[in-house]
Amino acid sequence: DIQMTQSPSSLPASVGDRVTITCRASQNIYNYLNWYQQKPGQAPKFLLYSASTLQSGVPSTFSGSGSGTDFTLTISSLQPEDFATYYCQQSYSPPYTFGQGTKLEIK
């Protein structure tokens, strides 16, 4: 199985900050990498696919990059509604594993 490792697990930040979350795959997954946002008590929300393609309706402050084994999710200017937990997921081969999550917290 492909293991997905996110870092950091927790990220204190302030409104207006630029933040980057890293996701590493245990083997080459090309660009089969997706990102989701989850707020407490809610279902996850789909943000990006194919490592860098933004889902319709997602603010352009979100961006993704990477290929192979190393990927990043960047939020260029944090808004209050962005404080949530973020998950990466590989869709290269089943089981379609998720990272353990990165909780973006208010500093």
Partner 1 sequence: EVQLVESGGGLVQPGGSLRLSCATSGFTFSGYSMNWVRQAPGKGLEWLSYISSTRTTIYYADSVRGRFTISRDDAKNSLFLQMNSLRAEDTAIYYCVREGTSGWYFDYWGQGTLVTVSS
In whole angstroms, the minimum distance from the beta carbon of 4 to partner 1 comes to 10
| Of residues 50 and 77, the one with the C-beta less far from partner 1 | 50
| Of residues 71 and 87, the one with the C-beta less far from partner 1 | 87
- Give the separation between CA 75 and CA 79, rounded to whole angstroms: 9
- Give the separation between CA 76 and CA 99, rounded to whole angstroms: 22
- Give the separation between CA 53 and CA 31, rounded to whole angstroms: 10
Binding site for partner 1 (CB under 8 A): 1, 32, 34, 36, 38, 42-46, 49-50, 53, 55, 87, 89, 91-92, 94-101
For residue 74, give the nearest of 63, 86, 90 by alpha carbon: 63
| Of residues 2 and 13, the one with the C-beta less far from partner 1 | 2
